[in-house]
Amino acid sequence: MLVETDDDRHLEYEVVGLLEDDESHESYAICYNKANDEFIVTDEIGKILEDEELAQEVLDHFLSLAEESSEDGD
């Protein structure tokens, strides 16, 4: 995924996870930019979430699932 910033830079993000909200059935993609060590969260059509609180909740849930998964693999 290529994102253009306000200062006209282009940053490439890799989709590292997909989550679906159990209640609303909304789908989200968690994307990561390795160069900047930065995550973004998008909706199912690739639009970056403007609701920062929701984006943080989705990211936190994804990271907790990833941590649990890595612990199970030990």
pLDDT tens-digit readout, 20-40: 988 889 999 999 999 999 999
Tens-place pLDDT, residues 40-63: 999 999 999 999 999 999 999 999
* Residue 73, pLDDT above cutoff 80: no
Instruction: Please answer whether residues 16 and 33 qualify as being in contact, where contact means their C-beta atoms are separated by less than 8 angstroms.
Output: no
pLDDT of residue 42: 96
Q: Can you give the pTM of this predicted structure?
A: 0.85
| Residue 68, pLDDT score | 85
Structural tokens at position 35: 């160069």
Q: How far apart are CA 71 and CA 3, in angstroms?
A: 32
Residue 70: the pLDDT is 77
